[in-house]
Structure 1
């Protein structure tokens, strides 16, 4: 992993050849880390799904099963002993699987120099246009083209912070969801089970990250800066494919992506609480995660401890289960945190939609059509995000981005660019989920607060306070004078 940001290598970074050699040393260079194909029970009954394998041979016995399991664990080499293999997710395995899915230019360590030059020119251009569309100043401190392989290098640290609380909770839920009779018999094997659970998370996360790395177009694509720093980064190897999907020329697509990237960075750099709030929402969502293991519990009723001494019956039971979906369903008691996260991401994406649309405007005639096509792509063409949901139960998508864009657009018309952007000054000022469905009330509140501010006369207010103070001092003085006058009158009467 480079510590120097997108586009640079540190002295200890591996080359592509070194990485491939390391992967081959681990004994498996395919996308199936366990070597049993798509069948989760393949280790128990071989490639023919319990039919005895080739030539009608009998399936493995219990000793063979345990031997295969031991060989599987020992075959991972560095993936098992690496510091990244500890904890709820085996990140060494996740990274290896993710990289194995990359091919072509996405697998390269660096893009061509001319690509970074094209990105730099585009970012400089759109920054000038964005100055007229938002009061937030430029946030990008540099620009560079990047590849899917670089994206994995730069984003893994933040992915760990996002994923760890989710995986830890789900790991605990997995243990708690096991039948009591099985859990009580595992004893010292619980540590091994935890390690295997971490490998399972690593395998699933690796597949999700591999899909994301192969489809990512810019570093802020999912409404959160997954890479550290403030470098505007565009995946130029995705331009041809995206241009077809967006119905634009390659140069137009690059300008549009550069504008979105630069707009995101303005928001992230000048609204310092924003990124932390998004991550805290993920962590709060994780606290309520649990697993619905009803499918596994029903299947476990078929388990009889005596089967451990009869491999034939054990194999028969596993054959019945191989086509069953025993995957637990992820549920959460803190769904409000998920809603708040989705609202925050939608507000970010919607604001970027509006600001980029205003910045490009007539300068890029196809900007409107590109923006509409991007919204469709964002909502319907994110297979990696779907995989992430299956793995840890949460998505970084923005399901109400279009509604949020409409709110920001109407707010701009009502109060102007400066007052619109002032809403980002504090999290309590932001719209909530219900405001996205019905923005009129929120816009009215901003208008009312603006009228209060516009109608405030500081000089007049000071003069009013001075009159109140003087009046307070005058009252006792008048009372004293009245008392003195009464005393004088009494003396005269005498």
Structure 2
């Protein structure tokens, strides 16, 4: 029988990793030593069987055949079909040992319950593809757009520029630069999910393994304990990697995930502009205005970033996982098919409806994001008046914010956090009213103190904002007067209304 020519991930023919080595032959040698079967014979046998069974599809970020967007389990050569009927218990035991070693080696002791190392690898893999390095010309265009944006913003806001230099990133560079901040934001949710998954897998998977092979599971305890973190790390990393293909700048998610840097992603900006019939330079300048405006806000109001994280932490602290749901899903998992674990244990489906305190945290988070984006919308609209496409770009961005992309939906499902401000238009209406009635200085001074922030009631009834603010100021002044009187001894009266003797 003639061996078909090799195709990446096909499981047929000789596979060369580019260095003259056959990954399948190398894996078989590690697993079975001198008794390793001939890789070409194994391929031919599997080809005759029609490639039955589920396959390991490769290493995220690897050059091995089969690695790539399929998202297989790391450490296994690509394109190797697997069928449990062809393996005897002894052979399966050796494969289990190899798989266990793979799982343990892929997790750092510093990662904790979630395999963040694997999450980073999965994010890089998901961001790969059409991701060219940023050339000198594209970098210069971004830098010039950001410099012009800063000049235009100086004329419409009292919040000064922090003087930060701009950077242009590829998708992979965005992933690397933001991963630590994504970890800080999602870790409380991710840890809870990973631990619940691992418990369910440890309890349920032994029942799914054929009886003659259950004795082999004795040494798999550590692997099963780490499995939840591995699965969730893969899912979370894939969601962040998918997000890297949509974000336009460092703060496009409305969180400063890129740190205190003005960052833009040229390849995504170019794709965003496809079909808009707007000149490329106007798109760059408009998006640079939004990035620079957000960064002014975050740098001016240091408490703002802290409050966003506090709301996320409060939400995460109240998460309770649907363990029964995970256990039910684990019963359907084929332990010989790692991909089935990822499919069955998709994270967000096991997070029940938010509790009372969680709802309050989410409402606060939603309000803060809406106020940020509403202010940015108003300020940028004013600053971008020289652009002919100002109105069209504003409407396009606001529709994009309202609907969200597939990556945003995936991330929200995974960790239960919505990356979109639902009340953006109401917030913009309020900021426009404040600026029109009281001026730019009054409007921007509101960001100097968290106690001055508008409330949800203000978004419901913008016209009543000033009356409520006046009542709040009167109440605050009355409290200050009472405190001053107390400190000056004004309440130190005797029983008959006279002044008590002074010591």
Q: TM-score, normalised by structure 2?
A: 0.69
Query: Given the alignment, which residue of 419, 441, 453 partners 1:418?
Result: 441
Using the alignment, how far apart are the partners of 2:278 and 2:341 within structure 1? 46
1:210 to partner: Cα distance:
1.0
Determine helix, strand or coil for the equivalent of 1:233: strand
Using the alignment, how far apart are the partners of 1:116 and 1:422 within structure 2? 34
- Contact 1:59/1:315 (CA < 8 Å) preserved in 2? no
1:173 to partner: Cα distance:
4.0
- Contact 2:198/2:227 (CA < 8 Å) preserved in 1? no
Using the alignment, how far apart are the partners of 2:123 and 2:132 within structure 1? 10
CA deviation digits over 1:99-139, x for unaligned, max 9? 2223455253xx11122211221122121211122110012
Change beyond 3 A, Cα 1:61–1:349: farther
Query: Given the alignment, which residue of 150, 168, 192 partners 1:127?
Result: 150
Query: Given the alignment, which residue of 99, 112, 117 partners 1:87?
Result: 112
1:209 to partner: Cα distance:
1.1
Using the alignment, how far apart are the partners of 1:287 and 1:366 within structure 2? 44
Q: Which residue of 2 aligns with 1:30?
A: 68
- Contact 2:60/2:72 (CA < 8 Å) preserved in 1? no
RMSD: 4.1
Q: Which residue of 1 aligns with 2:350?
A: 329
CA deviation digits over 1:362-388, x for unaligned, max 9? x11211110111111222242222221
Using the alignment, how far apart are the partners of 2:377 and 2:234 within structure 1? 35
Using the alignment, how far apart are the partners of 1:425 and 1:198 within structure 2? 41
Using the alignment, how far apart are the partners of 1:278 and 1:198 within structure 2? 26
- Contact 2:192/2:321 (CA < 8 Å) preserved in 1? no
Q: How many residues align?
A: 405
- Contact 2:231/2:342 (CA < 8 Å) preserved in 1? no
Q: Which residue of 1 aligns with 2:318?
A: 288
CA deviation digits over 1:232-280, x for unaligned, max 9? 2211112321112544221111001110011011101110111111111
Change beyond 3 A, Cα 1:72–1:437: farther
Please, which moves more after superposition, 397-406 or 371-380? Answer: 397-406
Query: Given the alignment, which residue of 382, 388, 394 partners 1:358?
Result: 382
Q: Which residue of 1 aligns with 2:16?
A: none
Please, which moves more after superposition, 393-402 or 167-176? Answer: 167-176
Using the alignment, how far apart are the partners of 1:368 and 1:399 within structure 2? 20
CA deviation digits over 1:331-354, x for unaligned, max 9? 333221122112111111111111
CA deviation digits over 1:283-318, x for unaligned, max 9? 111101112244445567x89xxxxxxxxxx97999
Q: Which has the larger radius of gyration?
A: 1
Determine helix, strand or coil for the equivalent of 2:400: helix
Question: Do structure 1's residue 72 and structure 2's residue 99 form an aligned pair?
Answer: yes
Change beyond 3 A, Cα 1:316–1:287: closer
Change beyond 3 A, Cα 1:369–1:123: same
Q: Which residue of 2 aligns with 1:210?
A: 241
Using the alignment, how far apart are the partners of 1:170 and 1:132 within structure 2? 48
CA deviation digits over 1:438-482, x for unaligned, max 9? 3333343236678999x9xxxxx9xxx9xxxxxxxxxxxxxxxxx
The structure with the largest helix share of the pair is 1
- Contact 1:139/1:262 (CA < 8 Å) preserved in 2? no
1:419 to partner: Cα distance:
1.2
Using the alignment, how far apart are the partners of 2:388 and 2:311 within structure 1? 38
Question: Do structure 1's residue 348 and structure 2's residue 369 form an aligned pair?
Answer: no
Runs of at least 5 residues in structure 1 that lack an aligned partner in the other structure? 1-19, 38-42, 48-52, 304-313, 456-460, 466-494
